[in-house]
Amino acid sequence: MKDVIYPSFDDVIAAHDRIRPYIHRTPVLTSSYLNDLTGADLHFKCENFQKAGAFKVRGACNAVFGLPEDKLERGVATHSSGNHALSLSYAAGRRGIPCTVVMPRTAPEAKKAAVRGYGGRIVECEPSTSSREAVFEQVVAETGAEFVHPYNDLRVITGQATCSRELMEQVEGIEGIVAPIGGGGMISGTCLTVSSTAPDVKIYAAEPLNADDAARSFRAGHIIADDAPVTVADGLKVPLKENTWHYVSNHVTDILTATEDEIIAAMKLTWERMKIVIEPSCAVPLAVILKNPDVFAGKRIGVIITGGNVDMDKLPWFKG
Amino acid sequence: MKDVIYPSFDDVIAAHDRIRPYIHRTPVLTSSYLNDLTGADLHFKCENFQKAGAFKVRGACNAVFGLPEDKLERGVATHSSGNHALSLSYAAGRRGIPCTVVMPRTAPEAKKAAVRGYGGRIVECEPSTSSREAVFEQVVAETGAEFVHPYNDLRVITGQATCSRELMEQVEGIEGIVAPIGGGGMISGTCLTVSSTAPDVKIYAAEPLNADDAARSFRAGHIIADDAPVTVADGLKVPLKENTWHYVSNHVTDILTATEDEIIAAMKLTWERMKIVIEPSCAVPLAVILKNPDVFAGKRIGVIITGGNVDMDKLPWFKG
């Protein structure tokens, strides 16, 4: 295994300059109701308002717009549970290069339609890590496309790092940041920025109890991967990989979990009180904040709202 | 009938100064997707993010914080299909005076809970204008409270006028404004500001076809009132009254209507693409913009998103 050269904060600044024309500097919202309820001073970084509906466009744009000329013709390819698929399609569309995405056949229809809307080509797989990776190998063999992994790619992690860079600029005195964890791309980007610029800020990862492989990995000291966990937080089913494990194991303060009911309740509460559409995946941070008042009360906390791509015909608080 | 002295734009400025500590200067959002779809340059004034979840807090605060000392003890009372009830309760709570609201028993549970959360007292009536007004007379007789009508009150209209004042400050070069019309409070406030400060800007009222009494009034040249129209846009069931008719008849460019299906589709589209929670009532403007591209395409248009108080367990695109 070769030595990995991890990106520096200068690389984050360069990424930010590279992707700025293609992304939004998303707003930070507050809610006096949720502050009263939690006892914390919460600042929500609204990547649900981001281009393509999620933070993942940051990493995808950094990878696509950093591609050398000789790789453009064959385009890019990836596998993704949803938002990275949209984001890579968006980024490739903006650069005018081909993009193929392997998506679980169970992915929300709204996400599939949006991928096609941005010009991406979809190849379907079964909803498990093993099927996704097998189908993807075929796609790369056929197209010769540049693989942009949804999270285990340092170009992607460096792009995601621009999100917490903006948050730290937008809100003074942040004492902790809470973000969801699936494969660990957003958390790794957060670690990259925070460890370089504000090492005293605590970093909490929020994970569904039903897909708590990152929490178990964190406690065990090595990567534990589940193949096909079942959770409403469909963006958080994927396992850590070596690059994200580097950041998680070195810089994360703690990984906290929430049940499916707690996640759905936090999602509905956010819709009702903040009037914003957020995905189940990004309700996990609020769920763990509500569950652990001793950790968060009295502190100024940044919360990453990672995305807002929801299938409106399948809301989790409607049964059947 | 005595002569009415209508407010001036100086009164709007005074109202704005009076209510500013109690309201948000709400953001204006854009959507490249909706611009592409409509051919217009749309700027959404997001009063769904307003205190108490709707623009109505502007008018309610202006009435409550303008009350003379000798009227404070008996408090305020009103009847409302929902958001004015919340807003008056919020404003009264901030000033520390009693508030009684007559609400239809069919009003969304979320709105009733929020009224109580702000400290308001609810008296229920049947869902018709006649029942509402009868029950309300009793309440005023019993409490001696100051009546703050949800829209036919010049203090309220002057408060609502601060919304389009902000919009005109936030977006340069607006050529038209579209707002929903029920009783006409928001539209009247828009007329008050726009006729004083930018008389060339066109004002379009958007109304459910199922509750099109304002459109019929506009064409007939006098007020036509329906008693209990049935529409998903539950904030827009009430009829015009003499003060709002003054503004509508003198300053509105046109009143456009949309069917129930068109309203629900525009609401769902806004949730999906803009990632914001809006009420059915404030989806009517987007519905009429989508329906009348000849009127709006190529123009810079302000759209008032009037509120975001939605019962998440009763979304109109779920049947049954």
Q: Which CATH architecture has domain B57-147?
A: 3-Layer(aba) Sandwich (3.40)
Q: Do A271 and B312 touch (CB under 8 A)?
A: yes
Number of neighbouring beta carbons within 10 Å of residue B228: 14
Q: Output the pLDDT for position B227.
A: 77
Kindly tell me the sign of the dihedral angle through the C-alpha atoms of B285, B288, B292, B293. positive
Q: Output the pLDDT for position B228.
A: 79
Give the largest CA-CA distance in chain B: 55
The domains spanning A9-54+160-305 and A57-147 adopt the same CATH topology: yes
Q: Output the pLDDT for position A132.
A: 87
**A189-202 exposure pattern, b = at least 16 Cβ within 10 A, e = fewer:** bbbbbbebeeeebb
Q: Which of A27, A275, A312 has its CB closest to that of B268?
A: A312
Q: Output the pLDDT for position A1.
A: 54
Number of neighbouring beta carbons within 10 Å of residue B128: 15
Q: Which of B49, B277, B312 has its CB closest to that of A317?
A: B312
Q: Output the pLDDT for position A133.
A: 86
Name the band, by pLDDT with cuts 50, 70 and 90, for residue A2: low
What does each C-alpha distance from A240 to A176, A202, A217, A226, B280 come to in angstroms? 22, 20, 8, 10, 42
Q: Which of A308, A315, A318 has its CB closest to that of B275?
A: A308
At B15 the three-state DSSP class reads helix
Q: Span A228-248, mean pLDDT?
A: 93
Distance, in Å, from the CA atom of A211 to the CA atom of A198, rounded to the nearest integer, reads: 30
The mean pLDDT values, 10 residues at a time, for chain B of 320 residues are 87 98 96 96 97 95 98 94 90 97 86 90 90 92 95 98 98 98 97 98 98 97 91 92 98 98 98 96 97 98 95 86
Q: Do B312 and A268 touch (CB under 8 A)?
A: yes
Q: Output the pLDDT for position A111.
A: 81
Distance, in Å, from the CA atom of A190 to the CA atom of B5, rounded to the nearest integer, reads: 59
Distance, in Å, from the CA atom of A297 to the CA atom of A249, rounded to the nearest integer, reads: 25
**Contacts with B76 (C-beta within 8 Å, 6 or more apart), sequence order:** B63, B64, B67, B88, B91, B92, B97, B98, B99, B100, B145, B146, B147, B148
Chain A residues near residue B93 by CB distance under 8 angstroms = none
Residue of A83, A272, A310, A313 best to disrupt the B interface, most CBs of B under 10 A: A272
Q: Output the pLDDT for position B88.
A: 97
Report phi then psi at B111, rounded to 5.
Answer: -70, -40
Q: Span A202-223, mean pLDDT?
A: 98
Report phi then psi at A299, rounded to 5.
Answer: -115, 155
Tell me the domain boundaries of chain B.
Answer: 9-53+153-305, 57-147
For residues B201 and B164, the answer to whether their CB atoms sit within 8 Å is no
Q: Output the pLDDT for position B169.
A: 98
Q: List residues of chain A with CB under 8 Å from any CB of chain B.
A: 27, 29, 48-49, 53, 110, 268, 271-272, 275-278, 308, 310, 312-313, 315, 317-318
Q: Output the pLDDT for position A151.
A: 96
Annotate B242-274 with three-state secondary structure.
HHHHHHHHHHCCEEEEECHHHHHHHHHHHHHHH
Residue B64: burial class (beta carbons within 10 Å; 0-12, 13-18, 19+)? buried
Q: Span A253-262, mean pLDDT?
A: 98
Distance, in Å, from the CA atom of A305 to the CA atom of A235, rounded to the nearest integer, reads: 12
Q: Output the pLDDT for position A215.
A: 98
Q: Output the pLDDT for position A80.
A: 82
Query: Tokens 């902000």 belong to which residue?
Result: B166
For residues B266 and B258, the answer to whether their CB atoms sit within 8 Å is yes
Q: Output the pLDDT for position B171.
A: 98
Distance, in Å, from the CA atom of A24 to the CA atom of A61, rounded to the nearest integer, reads: 12
Q: Which CATH architecture has domain A9-54+160-305?
A: 3-Layer(aba) Sandwich (3.40)
Strands B28-29 and B41-46: antiparallel
Looking at residue A226, its amino acid is: D
For residues B255 and B215, the answer to whether their CB atoms sit within 8 Å is yes
Q: Output the pLDDT for position B223.
A: 97
| Per-residue model confidence as pLDDT tens digits over A111-136 | 888 899 999 999 999 988 789 889 99
**Contacts with A50 (C-beta within 8 Å, 6 or more apart), sequence order:** A23, A24, A26, A57, A58, A307
Chain A residues near residue B318 by CB distance under 8 angstroms = 315, 318
| Per-residue model confidence as pLDDT tens digits over A17-75 | 999 999 999 999 999 999 999 999 999 999 999 999 999 999 999 999 999 999 999 99
Q: Output the pLDDT for position B3.
A: 82
Q: Output the pLDDT for position B2.
A: 65
Q: Do B310 and A29 touch (CB under 8 A)?
A: no
Q: Which of A27, A49, A277 has its CB closest to that of B271?
A: A277
Q: Do A312 and B317 touch (CB under 8 A)?
A: yes
Distance, in Å, from the CA atom of B167 to the CA atom of B28, rounded to the nearest integer, reads: 7
Residue of B nearest to A47 (CA): B275
Residue B196: DSSP 8-state: H
Q: Which fold has domain B9-53+153-305?
A: Rossmann fold (3.40.50)
